[in-house]
Structure 1
């Protein structure tokens, strides 16, 4: 059985809380044993925050253990315990640090000591947290115990515990192996026998981090109650309205009391109340660590020259996140954002030999078509897109007209970062998922899991996002998940994305809610509204269909819509010369919108881009 650093951190936090909660004037057996052994301030050597920071740096990601994804190439280092670590108890402070780090890294520990009562008490106090920990025992001083004998030096009282994790002696607790040519996804897929316990450890730690926040404290069980990843279904569903109500700037109930760090992103519809998604520094670093292997899986290679046209500014995440990710990779990036013009693109292709373009189809395709008209010999080797689907017709055009060799997709959200990626062997709207980063469930409207392969609403649990944690968050998308042995070499779960479930319409890089549009049209007497978005000749076409008891003039409806929602008109953040969008209005008498023959319901939002892309 593999043990995980996060479980040791939970055990240390359990003991730390006990020490800090007991006044110095009141008895505390473990504190008394440690102080009598010469550790003047036991809580300073059982500082779970310092241990986390130190282990996170030592492992280059506690949340990625036992692998460390490399950034200059698409493979990993694997970390494993040495087995049995033998500690000679010369100084209690040094022995305590040795025990904690040896256990954190999965080793069995034997303490050779003349004070076995002390170390039995320490081990039992840590085990009282109820999480899985390695074996540990004592032996008489000088006992010929086999194992890795590690000499732990004393640490000055004012030394930083996190920095001690980088010391030379700590490296003797692990063995590292370079898995040449093995990507992070393939390493995890091959680790299928450990998958459930690996994810259970991730989930335990996430639950513990979430319980630091006022909102989650009363909703979630103690982390020790999570013994299997299947226990996730016992946790409550987080609805979007609750996330908005309890997140900044309206509330801080979903945030811990930790020192603020990291980045805050904005999410939500253009006309509604935005959501602000907080990523601590650790959250952001985890996102980047997990994203770099995904970018390699999308076809990015060392030496690529990438035009990044994803949307930026206004606290939107697309450009900001990829800027951080490309900065870690051996690539050259040109972060134009959505303001890229045809002149910009041609300059970068001609002058810098750019060979990759990244962006949303609504901007990319008109940009590339116009560039092709002006430069018939234009070639773009790789196109990576996200935000909305791309039709197979448009993919064929890229391959035929631009000689594009790689067309790949990343599925992501400001709320939870990357949700899935599409390798060259997958088509349509199918994406590999990464349960170690975002665990995706498919449920019915009541939050109950549906059978594998059946369509339902998506819940995401962001396993490595600890500030403003997202547990079983109903993100507003639909799809189905099934197991697939992919030709790319990665076996595991695949998500077939099937569109929005919450009435959101996304185009021009912006989002509008169906309910807001219906409310705006209420003054004209509109009783029913259907909105459909599709593509024609590389442009996004938004069709607004209304039902009303009295005849309506489509021109009046159009004017009201464009006045209320400027993004439906000529307003756009990118090159105004590009023909990227068309609004059409169809006014129908009552009863003329198509109904479901069984339920009589009208589909409020249709996204024909999904249907075309899935063919």
Structure 2
């Protein structure tokens, strides 16, 4: 049976809602008025219906699964298949129809007014989104399927004035199930939207079955799903439909799915900055404010502010908890969270939200962590997991190890900046660390990929249900797997301040790889910032290649700065290492590995056109961004 998705029903309802708002005398409005359905404003509120279904199904963006937080398992929801509704009241019938379709069921309405309901079916199908089948039958006809009785909503408080319309009655009909509403004194009805009441009521649970998949992770369920293509198509349709509520994306074309992704424009960083708050409301939907606002680290320019509406934030947390488990964090772990926080920066904020839902004990120290605090937490609280940024925590770990040679740390999860293989080996040798894993993320769109402890180099697993990753050329044209290009992300579960084909400023390539951890499929080889290309002397050198060449010197951080000094193009390479390095030795090794760095370009008159300068610093000596804690890896300050 073809799977249908609640998001398509939501798009249809939202389109109908807009039509009614634009023209109260339209044929659609006349039809609903004739059927006494115009009083059903709460049911035709797409946002309220979306919120109710999100709560009732445990996540619209995770449907048909509901991930659990106390285990790494999922519940799987499946429609009962065919729902039969008796048309005793038009309002009840419409409630049953919409929620039955939302959960993927075909519907038969047993009614004495079949023409009306056929017209309603056509109206809701009018926008063209894929919805389940629907038909009518005569009252009392034998129809195969699950008969669902949609209850009346009954105001039961004495003296309260019931709202007019089909949804409410002063008393329930004999033999008819009802949901009783008891308003506070002086109130005349429920404050919660009708959809919210329905999605919490027992009758809603009759529309689908739930199976507990013991030992099946969300990622495993998705990868084994035969409907994975249609699922992502539905995700993208919904994202584009939601994005069209913003002025910037108002004219986006309607698309069917991922195959149409190339028809959508690339979102450049300059455009994102210009169209985002506080500079402009162009990427805002105008919805009631909710959720969290983060800011970029501004390591390469002015900060920008990133809005996560309440559902966006909830989606991020739902997706991150299985990811953190895949990174090795398990029940009962004690986690020192040393990611950067404050100033609206998201590292500490997001992970603290995620860890708070998990059965772990978290110590959220942020960048205020010290070597003494590390030792105290490991000794007195048995902290066994460190979550942090290598540029900040590695110097502290080495100092803590110097003070207490018995220091041991079972797991390290890092993000923000790369960790060299020599640093990983130091953790294994000196601290007994058995699991070292990383998250690839951005404040704009949260997690992009992750590296389990079985992946090497810069390979990362990707989750296209959360951030759909593309590799494109300079013009935004998709490149085949295996070719290096610019990374675009489409944030599939972020609907306020949407990011569609956003060029994040990084480069990489996608390849197929069957990881020893058991996860097959595409992996992203992350190759660093796109501004990590150093161009000089008609040559190009990658920052990542330079850092890799310095492994033998146990260099943890590398900053490359291009400047013009007295007319000479100069490359200044600044290293951080736990070793006491000789700058001349390091320079000679680099020239041997990269001849273009040498002094081969001297003119007859002795004019020097290029110079390589190496500066060797201890760990922690290079300046960090005050917000993100990162080091500027490349700077180009040459005179134009």
Shared topology, TM-score over 0.5?
yes
Note the alpha carbon deviations across 1:547-602, whole angstroms, 9 max, x for none.
44546999xx99xxxxxxxxx999xxxxxxx98999x99999763269xxxxxxxx
- Mean alpha-carbon deviation: is it higher for 481-490 or for 247-256? 481-490
Structure 2 counterpart SS, 1:63: helix
Note the alpha carbon deviations across 1:243-263, whole angstroms, 9 max, x for none.
000101111111111011111
**Counterpart check, 1:173 vs 2:191:** no
2:85 counterpart residue number: 87
State the alpha-carbon separation in 1 of the partners of residues 18 and 210 from structure 2. 33
**Counterpart check, 1:113 vs 2:130:** no
Unaligned runs of 5+ in 2: 154-166, 169-188, 588-596, 600-606, 613-630, 635-640
1:394 counterpart residue number: 423
2:342 counterpart residue number: 313
Question: How much does 1:211 deviate?
Answer: 0.6
Question: How much does 1:488 deviate?
Answer: 2.0
Structure 1 counterpart SS, 2:66: strand
2:268 counterpart residue number: 239
**Counterpart check, 1:592 vs 2:610:** yes
State the alpha-carbon separation in 2 of the partners of residues 3 and 551 from structure 1. 64
Alignment match of 2:63 (pick from 49, 62, 65) = 65
In the alignment of these two chains, the number of paired residues is: 554
CA contact (8 A) 1:363 1:580 kept: no
1:12 counterpart residue number: 13
Question: How much does 1:29 deviate?
Answer: 3.4
2:298 counterpart residue number: 269
1:51 counterpart residue number: 49
State the alpha-carbon separation in 1 of the partners of residues 402 and 139 from structure 2. 82
**Counterpart check, 1:323 vs 2:358:** no
State the alpha-carbon separation in 2 of the partners of residues 214 and 116 from structure 1. 40
CA contact (8 A) 2:555 2:575 kept: no
Query: Which structure has the larger Rg?
Result: 2
**Counterpart check, 1:201 vs 2:199:** no
Q: Which has the higher contact order (CA 8 A, sep 6+)?
A: 1
RMSD: 3.1
**Structure 1 residues 167 and 378: CA distance shift in structure 2, 3 A:** same
State the alpha-carbon separation in 1 of the partners of residues 402 and 501 from structure 2. 47
Note the alpha carbon deviations across 1:48-71, whole angstroms, 9 max, x for none.
111101001001111110111111
**Counterpart check, 1:433 vs 2:465:** no
2:217 counterpart residue number: 183
2:479 counterpart residue number: 450
CA contact (8 A) 2:568 2:608 kept: no
Matches within 5 A, 1:526-541: 534=547, 537=554, 539-541=556-558
State the alpha-carbon separation in 1 of the partners of residues 561 and 380 from structure 2. 43
State the alpha-carbon separation in 1 of the partners of residues 396 and 13 from structure 2. 55
State the alpha-carbon separation in 2 of the partners of residues 502 and 248 from structure 1. 25
**Structure 1 residues 552 and 446: CA distance shift in structure 2, 3 A:** closer
State the alpha-carbon separation in 2 of the partners of residues 530 and 76 from structure 1. 46
**Structure 1 residues 593 and 36: CA distance shift in structure 2, 3 A:** same
State the alpha-carbon separation in 2 of the partners of residues 353 and 538 from structure 1. 30
Question: How much does 1:338 deviate?
Answer: 1.1
Matches within 5 A, 1:409-488: 409-488=438-517
Structure 2 counterpart SS, 1:291: helix
State the alpha-carbon separation in 1 of the partners of residues 279 and 137 from structure 2. 57
CA contact (8 A) 1:65 1:79 kept: yes
Question: How much does 1:607 deviate?
Answer: 6.4
TM-score, length basis structure 1: 0.84
Structure 1 counterpart SS, 2:516: coil
TM-score, length basis structure 2: 0.81
CA contact (8 A) 1:93 1:154 kept: no
Structure 2 counterpart SS, 1:485: coil
Alignment match of 2:29 (pick from 10, 31, 34) = 31
CA contact (8 A) 1:74 1:182 kept: yes
**Counterpart check, 1:221 vs 2:253:** yes
CA contact (8 A) 2:56 2:199 kept: yes
Note the alpha carbon deviations across 1:149-174, whole angstroms, 9 max, x for none.
10001234444222221110000001
Structure 2 counterpart SS, 1:142: coil
CA contact (8 A) 1:77 1:177 kept: yes
Matches within 5 A, 1:159-170: 159=190, 160-161=193-194, 162-170=196-204
Unaligned runs of 5+ in 1: 505-513, 519-527, 559-567, 571-577, 595-604, 609-615
CA contact (8 A) 1:310 1:358 kept: yes
CA contact (8 A) 2:320 2:354 kept: yes
CA contact (8 A) 1:31 1:42 kept: no
State the alpha-carbon separation in 1 of the partners of residues 57 and 442 from structure 2. 27
Structure 1 counterpart SS, 2:487: strand
